[in-house]
Structure 1
Amino acid sequence: LIVGVGQDGYYIASDIPAFLEHTRTVQYLDDGEMVETDGEQIIFRDIATGQERSKREIQITWTVEQAQKGDYAHFMLKEIMDQKESIARAANQDEEEIMTIAEAIKNAKGTFLVGCGTAHKACMAAEYFFSVVSGHHVNVCSAGEFKLYHHFLVAESLLIVVSQSGETADVLEAMNVAKSKGAKVLAIVNVEGSSVARAADYTLRINAGPERAVASTKAMTGQMSVMLLIAYALKDALHDGKTLLFETGALINDMLNPRYLERIATIAGKIKRHEHLYIIGKSWHYPMALESAIKIQEVSYMHAEGFAGSELKHGPIALIEQGTPCIALMGNDEVTSDMLNNATELKARGALLIGIAPKRHEIFDEWLKTPDAGAAQPIVTIIPIQILAYELAVQRGKDPDMPRNLAKSVTVK
């Protein structure tokens, strides 16, 4: 829980945006603590002993305006559009701090990368960043599964945890497992002063600003951006990584124009009555296919599944029939020809094939162009999917900001 300290009283919530319009001064409860207040003062105590505990106040840098919808119909759309600037903010990291972290990864006896849900898919993409950009191996798993890997941990291991809120229960548990072995922890978070940030040995903020919609958009691309930057630092090419991300931000700014949004809305209108949607990708677009399915399912309630393109013939292709909408996520790289073969197999079974790629291929029934962004390709590829998910939700009469049965900060196991 978080306590907001205002001039007119105190506010208690699990996420800062809930009271940001009233105060930007916060104090955090740690595990095993309680808070007493009569509206005039506030006292933190140890639950077991009743002993009073002192707390420092943290000033939140977000503004009220950043946490409001402005002229947008929904927070989700606003946060998608925020990515015109948020990628550059994620890239604006302290160079000495990034190089310190890169050195820690180089010296670690096993680096583990964990997150939950969308953050986990960002970690999966980062596994490719580390492999392709710097030739460095990392181990990726869902934070909720990490305790099963405890026997691989030693004091010289490094755990990298990724969380938008910094309050995710499974992530905190993973940190406790690592610390019980004496391992160091790097936290990549959006919320300063959060439980995850306070417990970590190193912390990098993605600087996305407040994210109000339950479905994560700009936080995910910020997480990928920071991890891509670390991959370049491991290659001793940090400046190249920063330049790439600043250029990617400019490409996204050009891509997110009214005509592009209208094009995606039109495609959403063509598939909104279908109940099944399948997405394929290869290399770093495989985790983007998985993330695409999450995003579409959680806000539109349309059943969606993501697959590695090479896995189609091992089962999923049996699901394809005449008119089934399928999305192929592609870049301009060494796996393009393989992906075209996979997409052709879908088309041969009657799929309505939507291509998201820098180049139009004749097998596409519909095409959404993405800029060619090199190693940052998955960052630009996921954005039209975010817009498509938003449009499907709106056109199917759902609230994209508050999907049923879901919470923004998952603070319970």
Structure 2
Amino acid sequence: MCGIVTAIATNNVVPVLLEGLRKLEYRGYDSAGLAVLSGELTRLRSAGRVAELAVLADQAGLSANIGIAHTRWATHGVPSERNAHPHISAGLAVVHNGIIENFESIKLSLQARGYVFESETDTEAIAHLIHSKLATTPDLFDAVRLATNELMGAYAIGVLSEADPFRAIVARRGSPLLLGIGEDGMYAASDTAALLQVTRKVVYLEDGDLAELRRDSYRVMLPDGSPVEREVHISSLSADAVELGQYRHYMQKEIFEQPQALGNTLEMIAGGGSISPLHFGARAPEVFDGVRRVLVLACGTSYHAGLVARYWLESVAGIPCTVEIASEYRYRKSVPEADTLVVVISQSGETADTLAALKHASALGMTRTLAVCNVPESAIVREAALRFITRAGPEIGVASTKAFTTQLAALALLTLSLAKINGRLSETDEADYLSALRHLPVAIQKVLELEPQIEAWAQRFASKEHALFLGRGRHWPIAMEGALKLKEISYIHAEAYAAGELKHGPLALVDKDMPVIAVAPADELLEKLKSNLQEVRARGGELYVFADAGSEIPESEGVHILHMPEHYGMLSPVLHVIALQLLSYHAALVKGTDVDKPRNLAKSVTVE
């Protein structure tokens, strides 16, 4: 959510700032802007895409050795040029990600001192607050430090000042920010992808850190002003990993990267590997010992992964599992139990609600925590006792695809590890599960080969305004994920139900204009699902059924069947969701929506 790029170098940084913003577009935004120092402070802003900002910069002939840039996702104030960042206070410019919870009291105090506000944002209060500190603390670094000590909420900020043109100041709490160490300068950004153009050497700032950037040096300090060393990492990402390549959209690219992503995630069991708690870290045997229940905390797509895992954990490992929406969990009184394994799931590892829920669970005494995440140095990974890095690679499209399926792979390994610890996994079963996991990339590739048939389906119902998704058992969450994908990127209103719930209300919506998409694996609930599908046909509803081989659901008028390549038992949800991802993608293409950057949404949700 939002993106920051800061640069100070020996060469012109404007192209670096703009390219960095382009690489951060996936995070979601509705306006963009930049400010540079070249004798005086120059600011450009656009209530639109980064491409529009680049045109303005080109028309202005902008060139400078130091600058800050930002993409904004509106929180305080409507999307507009007036509310776009950077915000200025008498020659001082600020960009900011996050939400300042006490900005209204800060604003009132500053207005009483004569400061005039031109926007509706909380960020402008930061700019004026820092400027006010300069009256008694002439050093810019100290002024930023004192100002951030008064801020409540989440922030990552970049600061420039006309009066101090040879350095930039950055700070973070709650929102991600990292430094880039280049040969020609120093940089900061919300995401490594923005800096791959200039360096792979990065420093991940911790909560509360402030950093001063000069052309040939940097220093990091704590909120009390004391210096601190942070480790320099060499990013494993390559510039090619975040390029579109042969694909039309990042979402399409990431759907088709899933065989490789699953192979990478499951590398530890390739060949002669076996199921082991050590997949989750050296302390895992100690943490897993005595676990009597599992609590999964997640949001959005990751929440759906947790719902699938609940079926696995209870049926295979014999462990009770509760799955909660992270944004709701910490706002109700719950009953903590020390023998609970708390599993938090997040693609970015910076999801504000999930991070807060993890901290809340730990504060309640539930310290057996595991993070399933795609970003090794993220806040959630650092906070948890154990971690499993999914190795999906960078996911640029806002609608999650390969992050979801690699989360499912991680949760399947967790299920089998706990089952083995509990004596519920025989050698024969372990061998069968390992074989199925190793075969997943091949099975996924076969599903991807169904794309032409799925595309034809998308053409048929993309003109509809509503859709209903049905599933049963462990495929009900997959129906939920399919509905989420369709509404995210095609803007077709879609809902998902456990198929047995049809007659308890949703059946009233079914008619010839309400397509019904059903997930129909050849499992123990298939006959029940067939009865539910008959209920739809009896009301004139048109069915689109993703059926396993052997499901024996005949195609007829109003009943369209797509046969999946093979039945995959416990791991069947992984295959079925890929078909639903393709369906949503092609429906969005027909409707002409912005597939990778759907309206009103952000990739990394770093505010509550």
TM-score tier by shorter-chain length is over 0.9
Amino acid of the structure 2 residue aligned with 1:224: L
Shift of 1:135: 1.8
Amino acid of the structure 2 residue aligned with 1:408: K
- Give, in whole Å, the separation in 1 of the partners of 2:528 and 2:288: 33
| 2:410 is the counterpart of 1:233 | no
- Give, in whole Å, the separation in 1 of the partners of 2:318 and 2:339: 20
| 2:188 is the counterpart of 1:12 | yes
Amino acid of the structure 1 residue aligned with 2:298: G
| 2:238 is the counterpart of 1:63 | yes
Q: Tell which structure's C-alpha radius of gyration is larger.
A: 2
2:350 aligned to which of 167, 170, 178 = 167
- Give, in whole Å, the separation in 1 of the partners of 2:418 and 2:293: 15
Q: Specify the alignment match of 2:400 in structure 1.
A: 216
TM-score normalised per structure 1: 0.94
Amino acid of the structure 1 residue aligned with 2:387: T
Amino acid of the structure 1 residue aligned with 2:201: T
- SS of structure 2 residue aligned to 1:52: coil
Deviations 1:123-165 (A, max 9, x none): 0000011122222211110111221456422444321100110
| 2:316 is the counterpart of 1:140 | no
Structure of greater relative contact order (alpha carbons < 8 Å, 6+ residues apart): 1
Deviations 1:91-137 (A, max 9, x none): 22474513764763451354211111000000000001112222221
- Give, in whole Å, the separation in 1 of the partners of 2:325 and 2:373: 16
Shift of 1:29: 2.4
Shift of 1:309: 0.4
Q: Specify the alignment match of 1:375 in structure 2.
A: 570
Do 2:296 and 2:322's aligned partners in 1 also have CA atoms closer than 8 Å?
yes
| 2:186 is the counterpart of 1:186 | no
Q: Specify the alignment match of 1:207 in structure 2.
A: 391
- Give, in whole Å, the separation in 2 of the partners of 1:7 and 1:387: 42
- Give, in whole Å, the separation in 1 of the partners of 2:572 and 2:285: 22
In 2 relative to 1, CA 190–131 (structure 1 residues): closer, same or farther, beyond 3 Å?
A: same
Do 2:327 and 2:353's aligned partners in 1 also have CA atoms closer than 8 Å?
yes
| 2:248 is the counterpart of 1:73 | yes
- Give, in whole Å, the separation in 1 of the partners of 2:515 and 2:214: 57
TM-score normalised per structure 2: 0.65
- Give, in whole Å, the separation in 2 of the partners of 1:191 and 1:410: 14
Do 1:130 and 1:138's aligned partners in 2 also have CA atoms closer than 8 Å?
yes
Deviations 1:305-352 (A, max 9, x none): 011001111111111112421101111110000111111111111111
Amino acid of the structure 2 residue aligned with 1:412: V
Pick which of 365-374 and 200-209 moved more. Answer: 365-374
Q: Specify the alignment match of 1:198 in structure 2.
A: 382
| 2:453 is the counterpart of 1:263 | yes
Do 1:282 and 1:335's aligned partners in 2 also have CA atoms closer than 8 Å?
yes
- Give, in whole Å, the separation in 1 of the partners of 2:285 and 2:322: 16
TM superposition outliers: structure 1 runs of 4+ over 6 Å = none
Shift of 1:363: 5.4
- Number of aligned residue pairs: 410
Deviations 1:380-403 (A, max 9, x none): 000011011111111101111111
| 2:519 is the counterpart of 1:325 | no
Larger proportion of helix: 1
Amino acid of the structure 2 residue aligned with 1:247: H
- Give, in whole Å, the separation in 2 of the partners of 1:402 and 1:280: 27
- SS of structure 2 residue aligned to 1:36: strand
Do 2:480 and 2:496's aligned partners in 1 also have CA atoms closer than 8 Å?
yes
Shift of 1:81: 0.4
Q: Specify the alignment match of 1:25 in structure 2.
A: 201
In 2 relative to 1, CA 58–146 (structure 1 residues): closer, same or farther, beyond 3 Å?
A: farther
- SS of structure 2 residue aligned to 1:284: helix
- Give, in whole Å, the separation in 2 of the partners of 1:91 and 1:240: 15
Shift of 1:412: 0.7
- Give, in whole Å, the separation in 2 of the partners of 1:12 and 1:247: 41
Do 1:2 and 1:16's aligned partners in 2 also have CA atoms closer than 8 Å?
no
In 2 relative to 1, CA 301–102 (structure 1 residues): closer, same or farther, beyond 3 Å?
A: farther
Do 2:294 and 2:319's aligned partners in 1 also have CA atoms closer than 8 Å?
no
2:214 aligned to which of 28, 31, 38 = 38
Do 2:219 and 2:227's aligned partners in 1 also have CA atoms closer than 8 Å?
yes
Do 2:187 and 2:213's aligned partners in 1 also have CA atoms closer than 8 Å?
no
Deviations 1:60-86 (A, max 9, x none): 223222222110011100100011221
